[in-house]
Structure 1
Amino acid sequence: MSGFLRRLISPAAPTLQRDTVRLRLEDAEIDVLRVRDPRARRIKLSVDERGVRLTLPPRASLVMGERFLELHRDWLSTQLRSYQAQNLPPPLVIGEPGVLPLRGALLPLRWESGRFAHMRVDGEGACLHWPARGTDATLRRTLREFYEAQTRADVGQWLPRYLPALPRAPARLRLKVMSSQWGSLAPDGSMALDLALVLGRSSAFEYVLVHELCHLIQANHSPAFWAEVEQRFPAWRQERDYFQAEGRRLKAMLRQLLTPTP
């Protein structure tokens, strides 16, 4: 059967339906992303660095979703206060001194005039060369390019150390902003890493790289897999604890840096 006929007679894949609702809490009004997910089996409310999300299964009515929000109003307020207390660096303001998170440190950030936007790190911290017509979109693009370059530099430094003992090298590397994971390895050998890794301490980043490389040997989380990780990175438990303590803050910092200012 041709690909065209297969698409013609096969049912279309279900899609997510999204909209936004306003919810009034004790001290503020917030936007809640409401998502109707064909794969969901129950109503779910979640909070992360991106905001509040209400997930509805196909048969749940909008009224049921609103009631669910009302029942969990106090829980939601507590979770939002927890995120606000994460002690994030102040947002960057174009042209004003600030700090830039990188490899577990906050580098002093200064601005200098330039023909085009680019970032460099020197003995005084980070320097952002800035054109006269730079915009907020320019800033977010420059920050992402900077962090991608720093991430690839770290991977390029560590990867040769581990390749000789692997059955093959990763097919390619993709850098993403991930909501919960820190890395993944696709069946074709493509590796994805969270861009927030380069904001945290380097040893934790290296552990995630080792973790994903070991999936080239064991495509699971069996005792045999963890034995491979232990052999290459004996201190992996300390880095796992680091992510449990600091992971949400790292992801929130990256979101703040890359999200356009309203």
Structure 2
Amino acid sequence: MPPPSFRRTPPAPRRVERDTLELALDDGRLLTVRRVRDPRARRLKLSVDERGARLTLPPRASLAAGERFLHEHRHWLQAQLQRQLPAGGAPLPVLEPGRTAALPLRGSEVPLHWHEGRFVHVARDGAGVHVHLPPRAGTASLQRALRAFLEAEARADIGRWLPAYLPGLPRAPRRIRLKVLSSLWGSLAPDGSLSLDLALVLARPSAFEYVLVHELCHLLQANHSPAFWREVEARCPHWRAERDYFRAEGRRLKATLRALLGG
């Protein structure tokens, strides 16, 4: 009599493990899904937030079971992703070498030109944004180059605006970091380090400048008291209009950045 066979299950992880996988949607797009194996999870779970799609696996669920669960719920997932966009919003941009014709930047669409090159490089001139790609360049290297380009553009904006505000502050920010933030647009650490969402460079410049002013004013008032808002008002009288802009467009701006940079 042959010995009984057992299905091998992965050992229970002691910490959260993360990776990604791709799912083909019905419209032909490839969606990058964050896969998280969480020791605290009790069941397979699919969720969507401003960062995109997430598949959570309990400790002993197999990868095959997770992929099957994801495929079975792809229609629900596609509907949820669409709901993440503002009503009537256009599809998020996807970088397709040689085909994508425009890049969102500073509240408008900038012409995007593709060229063959020896190494991956993104630069801008009066005609638009130019992407230089070797024939075998991968998606990851393109996304890294685009992120470096967007960071350089954002720092150029900050460099133009910051000197005008420094004389009225007790000190300059210790450093300025550009990050992909989930919900916040900016934050000021106790040591004076300033973090700003990289998606701000996709927004209209007046909105980006307002967020910079908002965080700089926390060097004067480390709260959101009436005194803090008086400091903001003195430097940015139109701050309410910019706040309304983010309420209307903020979710799309964050989703657009993640779509361009691969989640």
The TM-score range, normalised by the shorter chain, is: 0.7 to 0.9
Distance 1:225 1:76, change over 3 A: farther
Alpha-carbon offset, residue 128 of structure 1: 1.0
Name 2:52's counterpart in structure 1: 50
Preserved CA contact (<8 Å) 1:182 1:197 = yes
Q: Among 175, 180, 187, which residue is 2:178 paired with?
A: 175
Tell me which amino acid in the other structure corresponds to 1:83: Q
Name 1:66's counterpart in structure 2: none
Tell me which amino acid in the other structure corresponds to 2:52: R
Distance 1:134 1:52, change over 3 A: closer
Distance 2:100 2:48 in 1: 35
Q: Number of aligned pairs?
A: 221
Alpha-carbon offset, residue 222 of structure 1: 0.7
Preserved CA contact (<8 Å) 2:233 2:239 = yes
SS of alignment partner, residue 257 of structure 1: helix
Work out whether 1:236 is the aligned partner of 2:239: yes
Q: Among 234, 247, 251, which residue is 2:254 paired with?
A: 251
Preserved CA contact (<8 Å) 1:89 1:99 = no
TM-score normalised by the chain length of structure 2? 0.72
Distance 2:148 2:78 in 1: 35
Show CA shifts across 1:194-251 (max 9, x none).
Answer: 0000001000000000000000000111111111000100000000000000000000
Alpha-carbon offset, residue 82 of structure 1: 1.3
Alpha-carbon offset, residue 33 of structure 1: 6.0
Preserved CA contact (<8 Å) 2:188 2:218 = yes
Preserved CA contact (<8 Å) 1:88 1:249 = no
- Alpha-carbon RMSD across the aligned residues, in angstroms, is 3.4
Distance 1:16 1:188, change over 3 A: farther
Alpha-carbon offset, residue 96 of structure 1: 2.5
Distance 2:117 2:77 in 1: 45
SS of alignment partner, residue 165 of structure 2: helix
Query: 1:135-214 to 2 correspondence within 5 Å?
Result: 135-214=138-217
Distance 1:213 1:137 in 2: 34
Mean CA deviation greater in 88-97 or 156-165: 88-97
Show CA shifts across 1:29-79 (max 9, x none).
Answer: x968668699xxxxxx7632422577x9xxxxx9xxxxxxxxxxxx98864
SS of alignment partner, residue 173 of structure 1: strand
Q: Which runs of 5+ in 1 are unaligned?
A: 1-14, 21-26, 39-44, 57-61, 63-74
Alpha-carbon offset, residue 153 of structure 1: 0.3
TM-score normalised by the chain length of structure 1? 0.73
Preserved CA contact (<8 Å) 1:183 1:192 = yes
SS of alignment partner, residue 237 of structure 1: helix
Preserved CA contact (<8 Å) 1:16 1:37 = yes
Work out whether 1:226 is the aligned partner of 2:225: no
SS of alignment partner, residue 51 of structure 1: strand
Tell me which amino acid in the other structure corresponds to 1:51: A
Distance 1:136 1:79 in 2: 25
Show CA shifts across 1:169-197 (max 9, x none).
Answer: 00001110001000000000000000000
Name 1:92's counterpart in structure 2: 95
Tell me which amino acid in the other structure corresponds to 2:241: Q
Fraction of identical pairs, as percent? 56
Alpha-carbon offset, residue 165 of structure 1: 0.4
Distance 2:37 2:242 in 1: 34
Q: Which has the higher contact order (CA 8 A, sep 6+)?
A: 2
